[in-house]
Structure 1
Amino acid sequence: MNLREWALPVYTIMIQLAVGALLFLWFLKLYSRSRVEEAELEDLCRIPLMIIYFTIGTAIFGAHFHLSKPLISVLAVSNFHSSWLSREIIFTVLFFLATGSIVALTWLVPGYTRAKNILGWLAITAGIATVFCMSQIYLLPTQKLWNSENTLFYYLGSTLLLGMTSLPAMLLLDLNYSEVQGNHQTKKYVEIVRKAVVWFSTASALVSVLVISQGIHQIITLKMINHQSAQASLELLTGLYQPLVVMRFGLLIVGVSWLLMSVHRIMKKDPEVKDLIGSIYVGFLLVLIGEILGRFLFYAAHVRIGV
């Protein structure tokens, strides 16, 4: 795959990471609003929101490397009524603008909690719509590897998994940054971060099982399709790319296991949660690399038959 071809995996993975992270950040905010002061919730969200916004911006920038004429990409939105690509572009822009508005309000405007919460859910809705449109683009009858419900489940599963594994890393980065700046957080604030690390790391293990099961189910499905395209994709996944398939599943298992080891340390040894940033980042990076491999296989193993 050359630079233009890698632009799509980079874009899709980063958008999914941003959508998943924002979704679970807002769930955490919803859970925590009766447990800590509103000002502390604002502090909790600032750094993660900045990272999420930067991730979306980088994804959009990277996507333009896939286009031969990126400066006229805006013209693609004219087919919203009939094109999944046009819908994806519009929802991506809405996701970017809504998240940017939340970042600006969180950093610059105290209060207006209800407006910020509503804007956050609107951004999440636009993000989920973006991921859905992404998956629909690949439902092509000429490409049997993609043309099934597996594609939608794969994209949604990746969104959940990347969100659950990246958000704890963002929260710990924020906690350590606050310590460096000399802004020591309250015990309630630290406890919320601690619970978030435990909850999301544990939940990621369950989601990883679903993601791996989806990958195995896809291979089984290809075996059952009596079509030249399906059999060619199957041959690639079980032949040339088999080591990468095994490596992908292995990285997901090891990455999530690493996160669960961190949870075990929290539950049994009760260390300072900020000291777990190294192990949480390692687990997240392993999962991320596994997802990058999965996205490479998604594009590399498809075989088109016909026009």
Structure 2
Amino acid sequence: MDETALLIFTLCLQAAIGSMIFITLGKQLYKDKQFKVAALISAGLSVAGVLASFVHLGQPFSALNSLSNLGSSWLSKEALLAGIFMGIAVLYAFVQYYRPESQGLNTVLRWAGCAVGLVTVFSMAKVYTMASVPAWDGMNTFVDFYTTAIALGALIFLVSGFKELNEANHRLLPFIVLVAVVIQAAVAVPYAFSLGQNGMAAQESAKALSDMGVVIALKWLLILGGAGLLLWPAIEKSGTTGSKSAAGMIYVAAAILLIGEIIGRYVFYASMITSHIGLT
């Protein structure tokens, strides 16, 4: 598979967008908290994602060419929106570290980042559903991209802000992650089975997914297992909030879930079997 750059682009950008969403929600609950680390991670991931998209295009000037058809091309819209979100995320992180007293600017940047980010995820999904790839064509791609953004965003916010968050948040955020990945699985699994009932290309996609059965099983084991493991410290209620044991468990669970999401995105690209034309 030669879509590594796209894997990095989609995962990093969706995680960055999810992080911005949870930073915004967190600031609504805690006016006195800064969540600077989460802001820095969101900015870093957005930059990494956009740079990966440049690598996929082959040369920097190709990025400008990708903006030449904004009126009718979702690929052009995706490129523009990704760049705008990256700019907002980087500026927000800069303001957080060097002008934290600029509350009005902070608020505008946060909400603008959320709005642009949500539309960016939509445009990313549209790029793939408009392609002639049966495994991508449907609501499953939208659900996968949005739930990935939510799950990874909540995960990053929890890990980066563990000491700033209270015990209630230590329980709520893992629950949000679990709900997101359960929805992801509930939509993806039936959709994969339904492919075999459609045309020849869809049946070939179903066969390709079947051939990757062990990898897909590992993906869901890691994603669902990691999400479930996130809840363990809250369920056990052992130790005090912010204890090293609870934090350690969360870091391990986060790593497991992240590996599962990476495998899942690999499967997404590996299932690319076109009906007549490729990705445009």
Residue of structure 1 equivalent to 2:13: 15
1:134 to 101, 112, 124: 124
Give the SS at the match of 1:81: coil
| Structure 1 residue aligned with 2:202 | 230
Match of 1:181 in 2: none
Overall identity of the aligned pairs, in % = 22
> Which ranges in structure 2 are unaligned for 5 or more consecutive residues?
none
Larger Rg: 1
Q: Which residue of 2 aligns with 1:94?
A: 84
Question: Closer, same or farther in 2 for the Cα pair 1:72/1:237, shift >3 Å?
Answer: closer
Contact 2:167 2:241 in 1 (8 A): no
SS class of match (1:16): helix
Counterpart CA distance in 1 for 2:264 and 2:177 is 17
CA contact (8 A) 1:98 1:123 kept: yes
Query: Which of 105, 109, 118 matches 1:119?
Result: 109
Quick one: which of 253, 266, 275 aligns to 1:283? Answer: 253
CA contact (8 A) 2:21 2:114 kept: yes
| Letter in structure 2 aligned against 1:252 | I
Deviation at 1:302?
2.1
State how far apart, in whole Å, the 1-side matches of 2:228 and 2:77 are: 37
Counterpart of 2:173 (choices 193, 196, 200) is 200
1:161 alignment partner in structure 2: 151
Residues of 2 paired with 1:141 and 1:134: CA distance? 12
Q: In the TM superposition, what is the alpha-carbon distance from 1:193 to its structure 2 partner?
A: 4.0
SS at match of 1:165: helix
> Given the two structures, how large is their TM-score scaled by the length of structure 2?
0.93
Query: Quick check: 1:202–1:263 contact (8 Å CA) kept in 2?
Result: no
CA RMSD of aligned residues (A): 1.6
Q: 2:106 is aligned with what amino acid?
A: K
Cα distance in 2 for partners of 1:19, 1:269 equals 32
* Alpha-carbon spacing, 1:151–1:269, altered in 2? closer, same or farther (3 Å): same
Q: Look up the match of 1:242.
A: 213
- CA deviations on 1:133-156 (whole Å, 9 max, x unpaired) are 110011236321111121111111
In 1, distance between residues paired with 2:58 and 2:36? Answer: 36
CA shift, 1:65, in A, is 1.8
Task: Tell me, yes or no, if structure 1 residue 306 matches structure 2 residue 276.
Answer: yes
Deviation at 1:241? 0.3
Bigger fraction of residues in helix = 1
1:105 aligns with 2:95: yes
Q: What residue identity is the alignment partner of 1:23?
A: I
Aligned length: 276
Mean Cα deviation higher: 54-63 or 271-280:
271-280
Deviations 1:247-286 (A, max 9, x none): 1110012101210112224xx2242415233211111111
Counterparts of 1:37-116 in structure 2 under 5 Å? 38=32, 41-42=33-34, 45-116=35-106
User: In the alignment, residue 291 of structure 1 is paired with which amino acid?
Assistant: E
